[in-house]
Structure 1
Amino acid sequence: MTENFDVFIDRFKGRLKSLFHDESNINELSLNRGLPDNVWSGIMEMNPLSVAIPREFGGRGAEVKECLGILSAASYEALPLSLTFGINIALFLEPLAKYGNPEIQSPIFDRFIKDQAMGGLMITEPDYGSDALNMRTSYHETETGYAIKGQKHWQGLTGMADFWIVAARKKVQENDLARDVEFFVTDNSRPEQKIVVEHYFNNLGLYMIPYGLNTIDVQVPHNQKLIQHSTGIKMMLDILHRSRLQFPGMGMGFIQRMLDEALSHTTQRKVGGQPLSVMDSVRFQLSRIQAAYTLASGMCAHSSSMSGIAFDVAGEGLQANSMKALVTDLMQESAQICVQLSGSSGYKIDHIAGRGIVDSRPFQIFEGSNEMLYTQISEILVKQMKKQKISNFNEYLSLFEHTARVAPLFRQHLNFELPAVLVQRQTVVLGKIIARLVCLQYVDEMVEKGFRKDLFDNCIKHMRMDIKKLSTDLSDYNNAEPIIDYQEGSAWADFI
């Protein structure tokens, strides 16, 4: 019988606390690359990744609520640990459960449960980052399976994962590759499938996770090709969108930790005989992190209802991009505020908030930079508005299923005609407005079920402030352009 999840997650949280605060010091561990073997073993013996393995293979059932619970519990203590789990869950175990050949699923899942195995996903290439559809890693069919060649970089768990899902395009002619993308599982324990690490990167943060450049020249059997349900591109979108829809799990615990640390420090630290928390500007900043906590809560609740492997989320770009971009922006902002409120003590790499600034920063870049995702959100909505021949932003948002509940709260700031032509800096701003409304509606849906209304009301105040500023930026945008050859005539010393 499967252990009750509340009991399971409480045991996991207790073990993490013991490992990071009693048996060792997470603030010291975080300064070193990787984690000591005894700490990794202590974490993995709890079988945290079982949450992403179907029950028929000995797992807990791949329920999104449990996956997000594990991610949140881990990010409260160590954001890199949560990302390690996120890579395994969203980029390997869930794709394998949904698209893997039944012949390989059981033995691979077995190794995760019994041998503490790990897995990741390889898409990004040195010359093709976000431009994944033009990747040059190729494959051709052989008598026994497939031969795959290429290079991949910036894969989390480089040299550490036992299994990889590798994206490649079919070689049609010598220098011509098919448009569609296929995915293959590789097993590093087999010599003919081992992916070679050329070198490791000195990543700025997330020390726990190795990144690097990989050379792929492997042979895999036929049954290690993931099975398409339609096209490979749709499979890739389904995988990436599901991963983005689970970012709130990583953000949730991290933001809560920033909130708890900031509240603890400002209520205990006294200036002029009074705690910092009575100062008006401090209260504003605390409420700002609390609004982030509220939004992340709504995202987690909504994601739990619609991002499981039973669903096809290839077409859920607007929701996936809104959650990923907004929650990662909120993570970075929360860390910045926590450092500011912590004073000089926060400006240390071994302080949870100082480290949090560096560790949360790449979340705004990987799996699609936030500027790109906000642009895509705008493009989706503008296209739909044109299709329905609606030009008034408020009118459309009041009808749109993902914003209709909350759009009326912001009518004053949204009641404008959308420009016929938007430059990209405007589409980014528009995407930020839409993402806030989409995610605020998730909280509104939770309030109906009993979520604290005072948290929601405060969150509305912050979103109103954000949307007011963003709508002004949209209508009166800064059109400054860089001057490339700026040096001539700009040396200050010449003008003394």
Structure 2
Amino acid sequence: MKVPSSETQETMHKEARSSYFDLPALDLSVAFPQATPASVFPPCTSDYYQLDDLLTSEEQAVKMKVRNCMEKEVAPVMTKYWEKAEFPFEVVPKLGSLGVVGGTIKGYGCPGLSITASAIVLSEMARVDASCSTFILVHASLAMLTIALCGSEEQKQKYLPSLAELKSVACWGLTEPDYGSDASALKTTARKVDGGWILEGQKRWIGNSTFADLLVIFARNTATNQINGFIIKKDAPGLQATKIENKIGLRMVQNGDIIMKGVFVPDEDRLPGVNSFQDTSKVLAVSRVMVSWQPIGIAMGVYDMCHRYLKERKQFGAPLAAFQLNQQKLVQMLGNIQGMILVGWRLCKMYESGKITPGRASLGKSWITSKAREVVSLGRELLGGNGILADFLVAKAFCDLEPIYTYEGTYDVNMLVTGREITGIASFKPAVLSQRSRL
């Protein structure tokens, strides 16, 4: 018997491995027929205290319009894009057609929603997909709102209508490699020259930046040492935006590093209403209320998924919902969500009445996010092995919540903002040692 050569044997082995191991994955309905994946999104079952009654009829209508779009258009494709860490440009026209982009901004093609309705929009998006919610948060509640609050009349008329329809996309650049939560110490500089400004510096973690048409950028005026704001076009010479790779959360969001080397910005694109960090804080006050609703939406989606899964999935002839520990965890999740919604709703009402403070907004964001972390952790436990599959939402939501726990101020920094407000003592920076320790 002739023994095949080593090259022939290797070819035979490769062919055998290819035919046996390189088959495409089974369709989930075949691989695990017991439970429905999140591509067919579960009905909302998390409003146990009927908190919808707190909303006006207009706010309820906005909620259902966004919910229907997210469940129909985004849920079927979100896992595919999340896994590939690519942005779902195909859904952008569908989000633009909702007529909700621009939130509370009035005029210029913007919807002029109540702050509660604007928060509900982000919540309903996050319930299905946190990345889409963050895309709109950055575009509308940061970039568009900065132009609306701090821009000239000419800038508003020029930029806002297209942004409201999502025919153009904006990003918002504040944080830097050396300064995240302490963004007031930013190093990017703006130097006045004839007819405009020269920007030099770097920004990091800027969502939408790799494909944004407009970049709202903050820099330190070299003459006054104060923070100014600028609108930069994506094709400006000296501007570079590159994607941050290997994220484990909000994978569809295209966060980027921005480098500016001698970027010229004409005078007409300087935001006249940004002359200090306090002007930037006016935008952050609104966005911190908005971002508090993203964890609410994420938690609602996880609860809805777990509620359906536990009733569909059977073990020992009974649905998992019949087991005491599972019911206890599900109710604990539900209780958290009721409290989170009430705090979020109260934040909106305090903003509308002019009673919001930085400490109140910061406490809401940090507390709600911490409760959402608990909800998604319990959801992960309830789904067992399937809890690590993005197809069943919980693993994806588990990862997506982590960036939200950090951005718009980390949990700890937001707590210290509230601590400063209630005690009158700032504790952000360690005391300077009078002399170096000899130890």
TM-score (norm 2): 0.77
For residues 130 and 20 of structure 1, do their structure 2 counterparts lie closer, same or farther at Cα, with a shift above 3 Å needed? closer
Aligned to 1:284: 328
Task: Please point out which of 64, 73, 79 is paired with 1:19.
Answer: 73
Aligned partner of residue 206 in structure 2, secondary structure: coil
2:267 equivalent to 1:222: yes
Match of 1:207 in 2: 251
Instruction: Name the aligned partner's letter for residue 91 of structure 2.
Output: V
Of residues 340, 354, 359, the one that matches 1:296 is 340
Larger RCO (alpha carbons 8 Å, 6+ apart) = 2
Per-residue CA deviation, residues 122-161 of structure 1 (Å, 9 max, x unaligned), is: 1111122223232210112222122211111111112122
Deviation at 1:208, TM superposition (A): 1.1
Question: Residue 166 of structure 1 aligns with which residue?
Answer: 217
Matched-pair identity in %:
18
Q: Report if the CA contact (8 A) 1:196-1:214 is conserved.
A: yes
Give the 3 Å change call, closer, same or farther, for CA 64–235 of structure 1 in structure 2.
same
| Residues 50, 5 of structure 1: alpha-carbon distance in 2 compared, 3 angstrom cutoff | farther
CA RMSD of aligned residues (A): 2.8
Per the alignment, do residues 340 and 236 of structure 1 end up closer, same or farther by CA in structure 2, a change over 3 Å counting?
A: same
Pair 1:336-2:377 in alignment = yes
Q: Distance in 2 between matches of 1:95 and 1:40?
A: 21
| Cα pair distance change 1:5/1:114, threshold 3 Å | same
Amino acid at match of 2:335: A
Aligned position for 2:3: none
Matched, 1:357 2:398: yes
The Cα of 1:76 is off from its aligned counterpart by 1.4
Distance 2:71 2:332 in 1: 27
Tell whether the 8 Å contact from 2:344 to 2:364 is kept in structure 1 after alignment: no
Residues 124 and 154 of structure 1 are in contact (CA less than 8 Å); yes or no, is this contact kept in structure 2? yes
Alignment of 1:123 onto 2:174 = yes
Cα offset, 1:353, TM superposition: 0.2
Equivalent position amino acid for 2:330 in 1: L
- Tell me, in whole angstroms, the C-alpha distance in 2 between the residues paired with 1:181 and 1:81: 30
Structure 1 residues 64-100: Cα deviation after superposition (integer angstroms, max 9, x where no partner): 1221121112111111111111112221112211111
Letter in structure 1 aligned against 2:378: I
Aligned 8 A contact 1:86 1:250 in 2: no
1:415 corresponding residue in structure 2: none
Unaligned residue ranges in structure 1 (runs of 5+): 173-177, 387-421, 425-496
After superposition, what is the alpha-carbon deviation per residue over 1:88-125, rounded to whole angstroms, capped at 9, x for unaligned? 22211122111111111011012113452221211111
- Cα shift at 1:274: 4.0
**Residue 318 (structure 1) aligns with:** 359
Secondary structure at 2:162 match in 1: helix
Q: Post-superposition shift, 1:380? A: 2.4
Are 1:33 and 2:79 an aligned pair? no
Q: Does 1:243 align with 2:287?
A: yes
CA contact (8 A) 2:303 2:334 kept: yes
Distance, in Å, in 2 between the alignment partners of 1:306 and 1:118 is 30
3-state SS, counterpart of residue 167 of structure 1: strand
Q: Write the distance in 1 (CA, Å) between the matches of 2:243 and 2:384.
A: 38
Deviates more, 1:282-291 or 1:205-214: 282-291
- Equivalence for 2:151: 100
The secondary structure found in structure 2 opposite 1:51 is coil
- The equivalent of 1:156 in structure 2 is 207
Note the 1:417-428 alignment, pairs <5 A.
none
Q: CA deviation at 1:359?
A: 0.9
**Does the alignment pair 1:141 with 2:192?**
yes
Is the contact made by 1:72 and 1:249 (CA closer than 8 Å) also made in structure 2? yes
Does the 8 A contact of 1:47 with 1:116 survive in 2?
Answer: no
The Cα of 1:319 is off from its aligned counterpart by 0.9
The Cα offsets for residues 439-488 of structure 1, whole Å up to 9 and x where unpaired, read as xxxxxxxxxxxxxxxxxxxxxxxxxxxxxxxxxxxxxxxxxxxxxxxxxx
SS at match of 1:105: helix
The DSSP-based 3-state class of the residue aligned with 1:30 is: helix
Matches of 2:428 and 2:212 in 1, distance apart? 42
Instruction: Provide the C-alpha distance between the structure 2 equivalents of 1:377 and 1:4, rounded to a whole number of angstroms.
Output: 33
Matched, 1:232 2:276: yes
How far residue 362 of structure 1 moved from its aligned partner, in angstroms, is 1.2
Cα distance in 1 between the residues matched to 2:348 and 2:226: 30
Cα distance in 2, alignment partners of residues 335 and 42 from structure 1: 28
Q: With structure 1 as the length reference, what TM-score do the two structures score?
A: 0.69
- The reply to whether residue 187 of structure 1 matches residue 238 of structure 2 is no
Taking a change above 3 Å as real, the CA distance of residues 25 and 213 of structure 1, as seen in their structure-2 partners, is closer
Give the deviation of 1:165 after TM superposition: 1.6
| Letter matched to residue 359 of structure 1 | D
Secondary structure at 2:415's aligned position in 1? helix
Distance in 2 (CA, whole Å) between partners of 1:347 and 1:272 is: 22
Contact kept in structure 1, 2:205 and 2:244, CA below 8 Å: no
The 1:187/1:299 distance shift into structure 2, 3 A limit, reads farther
Alpha carbons 2:96, 2:166 under 8 Å: kept: no
TM-superposed deviation, 1:35: 3.2
